[in-house]
Structure 1
Amino acid sequence: MADLYRSPDAPLTEQRLFRWHHMLFHGRRDLASVGCYRQHATPMQIVSGQIGNERVHYEAPPSARVPAEMATFLDWFARTAPSHPDALPAITRAGVAHLWFECIHPFEDGNGRIGRAIAELALAQATSTPSFTGISAVLHRQRKHYYEQLRRHSLRLDIDAWLQWFAQQALQAQAEADEWVHFLIDKAALMTRLAGQLNPRQEKVLLRLLREGPKGFAGGLSAGNYASITGGSSATVTRDLADLVSKGALRRTGERKGTRYRLVIAGVSPRQ
């Protein structure tokens, strides 16, 4: 991903894909082919179920056909890039590229991660700048539905439904990326404002809350959570939390055992 964002306009070539694959699996001794296309004679199948009762979801082209299939794919990816005569809309190109690559399944392992990186690359190339979209995270979070969509549309030429589904995920990823950027800006502003005003326990707890990202700490922070994180006594916890509320870092809600504390930061969801 670092290579992708450093050089979004660099062409997608066999050598670049091989470099990505080598980055993923350098040192893996259980793979026969690292940094190159798969070469085994047995069919590349996507299966589920226990041994003896497997269910074959998809069988990719045989290894001997992979170089030719990938040459066609890479040529198409280059011809449909922005500024080219056959350029496609960014999300369409990303969706087609990802599904096409997964259908070829050119590597012994890592096809999903590299295929998602190709989709990220297609989106980044649309702006000719390193742009974080985070679609890999969105697809991984919905992996059961995502795998079902891949299985369903790898068996047919009509992929309109796939493109509609993929577009929804891409737009969701962009919205979440925007949310993350604002969150990180607000996080930096909060910690800058509180610099020199926090004791080590308070700083540790705030950093723990901020690590949860824009969605915040599930259920809010309780006094018990604070004590578990810091090891502080009941009196210390009460004093620390009251001080954080007075400094505008936390907002208190609820009463007694239902009391919870939530970050006061624009980039954190009010539903946390």
Structure 2
Amino acid sequence: MDYFWQQTDFPNFQFKVDDFISQIQEFATEFGEVNGLFVNVSEEDKSELLLQVVLSEAIKTSEIEGEYFSRADVMSSLQKQLGILDAPIVSKDKRAQAISTLMLQVRKDYQQSFSLAMLKEWHRTLMKFDKTVKEGEWRSSTEPMQIISGRTRKIEVYFDAPPSTELVNLLTRFEKWYRHFPYHEIGQIGRAMLRSALVHLYFETLHPFEDGNGLIGRALAEKALAETLEKPILVSLSKKIEENKQAYYETLKQAQRKQDVSDWLRYFFTILIGAQKEVKETVLYVVEKALFFKRYNHQLNERQTKVLQKMTEKGKSGFEGGMTAKKYISITKTSKATATRDLQFLFEIGALIRAGDGRNVKYHLNWTLFS
């Protein structure tokens, strides 16, 4: 089967805007609600929100490609670069540092005019510590670039990318297409969604680098969205994509075989809407967390504050299995008697809810006053 990049009028994407009006309206509603909530968030909490969203994107975009980084490694790198930590970076994982740097670079570059030089710079950042790839260079091998999946005995070829000899011409056209992206008539939000969806499909079709195309392609989708909306956005597309990677690859595979991209747009817009809804939940959580500490902070000692902060890092559910005296001792390096007394106090003031009794007693965060 031919690929649509082989057709003479590539990339003449075919779709009907009217088919996606309801999705555009839904995203616009979610986007507006997130911005409304964000206005009332303190500067300190805005930094935490940025950290949490970028952290999620860094980890999940890597997992889509089969790379798994320690959350602590990525977080420590992001905290250092955001100025949240004064101490040296704890992480020794160079690849975790590279993906963290790229995520922040993409956010910084959202207003910068798109260029092929920018893509090369992103690739240099991502591949800085990978000596198996020529960082910041287009692929040049004469061997076919095939995107495959599966085990050795059952390999499926998802896609054949254009040969390296055609890349320079194709990338020049890609850069021109991006800079002169049309569809102004559908409004800023609709145009941003469309640009984000199509630029990702277009870039992944070209697959210009030897490695890292998926990561950079998703980063490019985020840049296209933010640039067109003319503001940095809080969104983790990769988190939603990673929830069903098979659907992502299958929809991408089908879209690269025909000019009608309606199915791809429908899928990608669903991802955008879901990602924006998750961000809204994250913003609401950060606001509730701020209210939580505002209510109890003046009653807490240093140990109790440290434990509650650890619990809230895990979200509303707190620690898996709840907080116990044993976990409290491990975190605070205190005695069992002190741990038991501290936890009892947190229960009495309403910061924690107690479940079970005796040796099986466990404590959970009490959010009922803020729901």
Fold in common (TM above 0.5): yes
| Aligned mate of 2:144, from 36, 43, 52 | 43
Percent identity, aligned pairs only? 35
Amino acid of the residue matched to residue 93 of structure 1? R
Report the Cα offset of residue 42 of structure 1.
Answer: 0.9
- Residue 164 of structure 2 is matched in structure 1 by 63
Higher relative contact order (CA 8 A, sep 6+): 2
Report the Cα offset of residue 77 of structure 1.
Answer: 1.6
Q: Quick check: 2:109–2:223 contact (8 Å CA) kept in 1?
A: no
Amino acid of the residue matched to residue 210 of structure 2? E
What is the CA–CA distance in structure 1 between the aligned matches of 2:273 and 2:312, rounded to whole Å? Answer: 25
Q: Quick check: 1:179–1:267 contact (8 Å CA) kept in 2?
A: no
- After the TM superposition, which of the residue ranges 241-250 and 57-66 deviates more from structure 2? 241-250
Q: Specify whether residues 167 and 51 from structure 1 end up closer, same or farther in structure 2 by C-alpha distance, changes over 3 A only.
A: same
- Residue 75 of structure 1 is matched in structure 2 by 176
- Residue 194 of structure 2 is matched in structure 1 by 92
- Residue 107 of structure 1 is matched in structure 2 by 209
Unaligned runs of 5+ in 2: 1-102
Alpha-carbon deviations, 1:62-112, whole Å to 9, x = none? 111122222222222222278699986222221111112111111111111
Instruction: Give TM-score, length-normalised by structure 1.
Output: 0.83
Q: Specify whether residues 49 and 183 from structure 1 end up closer, same or farther in structure 2 by C-alpha distance, changes over 3 A only.
A: same
Superposed, 1:1-272 pairs within 5 Å as: 1-31=103-133, 33-51=134-152, 53-80=154-181, 89-195=191-297, 197-213=299-315, 216-223=318-325, 225-230=327-332, 234-253=336-355, 260-265=362-367
Q: Specify whether residues 225 and 93 from structure 1 end up closer, same or farther in structure 2 by C-alpha distance, changes over 3 A only.
A: same
Report the Cα offset of residue 205 of structure 1.
Answer: 2.1
Q: Quick check: 2:149–2:155 contact (8 Å CA) kept in 1?
A: yes
Q: Specify whether residues 133 and 86 from structure 1 end up closer, same or farther in structure 2 by C-alpha distance, changes over 3 A only.
A: closer
Report the Cα offset of residue 15 of structure 1.
Answer: 0.8
What is the CA–CA distance in structure 2 between the aligned matches of 1:56 and 1:145, rounded to whole Å? Answer: 16
Q: Quick check: 2:316–2:365 contact (8 Å CA) kept in 1?
A: no
Higher helix share: 2
What is the CA–CA distance in structure 1 between the aligned matches of 2:231 and 2:368, rounded to whole Å? Answer: 27
User: Residue 147 of structure 1: SS of its match in structure 2?
Assistant: helix
What is the CA–CA distance in structure 2 between the aligned matches of 1:72 and 1:100, rounded to whole Å? Answer: 11
What is the CA–CA distance in structure 2 between the aligned matches of 1:266 and 1:114, rounded to whole Å? Answer: 41
Aligned length: 268
Report the Cα offset of residue 222 of structure 1.
Answer: 4.5
User: Residue 114 of structure 2: SS of its match in structure 1?
Assistant: coil
Q: Specify whether residues 193 and 24 from structure 1 end up closer, same or farther in structure 2 by C-alpha distance, changes over 3 A only.
A: same
Amino acid of the residue matched to residue 72 of structure 1? R
What is the CA–CA distance in structure 1 between the aligned matches of 2:216 and 2:232, rounded to whole Å? Answer: 17
* RMSD value, Cα: 3.1
- After the TM superposition, which of the residue ranges 69-78 and 188-197 deviates more from structure 2? 188-197
What is the CA–CA distance in structure 2 between the aligned matches of 1:4 and 1:28, rounded to whole Å? Answer: 20
User: Residue 211 of structure 2: SS of its match in structure 1?
Assistant: coil
Instruction: Give TM-score, length-normalised by structure 2.
Output: 0.63
Q: Specify whether residues 215 and 168 from structure 1 end up closer, same or farther in structure 2 by C-alpha distance, changes over 3 A only.
A: farther
Unaligned runs of 5+ in 1: none
What is the CA–CA distance in structure 1 between the aligned matches of 2:120 and 2:369, rounded to whole Å? Answer: 38
Q: Specify whether residues 153 and 265 from structure 1 end up closer, same or farther in structure 2 by C-alpha distance, changes over 3 A only.
A: same
Report the Cα offset of residue 20 of structure 1.
Answer: 0.6
